[in-house]
Structure 1
């Protein structure tokens, strides 16, 4: 995933991140154990920050790991964080841990995406929801946003599609503002342009499953059964690799008892004859 550099020089880039975080020069200086004068000199190019200062400012500005590498390169230093492919032998422990987590969550849906929402792993619970999805959307690389919002994907079965679509697009907008990726922007423009099918095709799905007081539910039909989920996203703490930093584990938690019971029934062994 490439990064779009809107400015030249590390100073303007750091200023852009500071303004995006709505932090004053004085506040950033206090956090980074520096002075507002020094921060000002760095941002205007009058002072060249050390490698340690670049990393310190990036940390206090919550700059994504990939962007920290970009800041270092612009400042004249070597990238600090590696970017290791998931199929690299060095990632074996990570892959095994993620697979165990996904398997343990079954029969509830769970999957892992990278920074471009490419699905890199999923459990059987997720696979069961994909009944009827067009084959071209399931051909690798599978993209979670296309899978969800495409008219030949899950969209026709999502009963609160307009609300769910608006939430996903807002999520993408926040991510674009954070990483400024050209590929992510292209994906956003693509999925935002998909036609919106009528929610539920006019069917009345009112009932306890349609109201979750603590979060926006995903209401999706599966073989005539209305399922209600609440989505959660987990990321890795203090990642030291770009690939790991951009992974997100997404789980769909049953929002009512009937959804949980139905999903467990799909994996229940057949009764003995």
Structure 2
């Protein structure tokens, strides 16, 4: 995700004017965008100045090339005189079956390492069995992972954040990431405003590791995890664009051993 929000033109601005603003924000010339999308530079110039109206396919092609969020793309379709193109389909709908099956496959394949599915407001939509194992190891309710809000449990006292050895470091990273996302997400902005901000930036070590580790204080001692994310490529639905799977990969032999042993003891494990 980009560290800067996409620019917002005046609500009454034409689709062409909004496209020009988006192109400039992407630091692309008309010629470069024309080459990426396969339309002529002359036609793109006419679209941006309002002398030509883009067809739905051309507009979709331009917005995709500019990596404009689908919710914002809908406003450009409206500005161009078309109905909004992209829907936010509930994950439980029949049309999302392939998405649900893919998520289930990725979650199960990540065992014995924890993995969670996050929505656009950092709500935990699903979690694998190893996430429940980790919650149990740190003394939290092992059945509380699904339905939890990750941002809330990291930032509020009494949640998962209290069980992190490097709590301020992780809280700062989460706060900064959520703050960037909240620039285009009013509901997330409201949630963030209700949560305590990190007290102070974490101190910087003399030698920095390749990435920030999530260091957990558990009954089996310190557990360290690398964090990676999986998202869906080429989404055409607003719900799908918001989904991300966070994988917590054990970062050392001890963490692997503890997670593997605890997972193997689960009754009827997946």
| CA RMSD in angstroms, aligned pairs only | 3.2
C-alpha displacement at 1:98, in angstroms? 1.7
Distance in 2, matches of 1:97 and 1:152, equals 33
Distance in 2, matches of 1:116 and 1:10, equals 29
Q: Which runs of 5+ in 2 are unaligned?
A: 1-5
**2:233 counterpart residue number:** 237
User: Secondary structure of the equivalent of 2:135?
Assistant: coil
TM-score by length of 2: 0.79
**2:168 counterpart residue number:** 162
**1:127 counterpart residue number:** 132
C-alpha displacement at 1:260, in angstroms? 0.5
The partner residue of 1:102 within 99, 107, 126 is: 107
**2:191 counterpart residue number:** 187
**1:142 counterpart residue number:** 148
Distance in 2, matches of 1:198 and 1:17, equals 33
**1:21 counterpart residue number:** 26
Deviations 1:33-90 (A, max 9, x none): 3455544443444543222221121011011233323321221112333332111122
C-alpha displacement at 1:109, in angstroms? 0.7
TM-score by length of 1: 0.78
Q: Which runs of 5+ in 1 are unaligned?
A: 200-210
**1:7 counterpart residue number:** 10
Given that 2:113 and 2:250 are in contact with CA atoms closer than 8 Å, whether structure 1 keeps it comes out as yes
- How do 1:22-61 residues align onto structure 2 when only pairs under 5 Å count? 22-36=27-41, 38-61=43-66
The partner residue of 1:112 within 94, 117, 120 is: 117
User: Secondary structure of the equivalent of 2:194?
Assistant: helix
Given that 2:175 and 2:197 are in contact with CA atoms closer than 8 Å, whether structure 1 keeps it comes out as no
Would you say how many aligned residue pairs link Structure 1 and Structure 2?
253
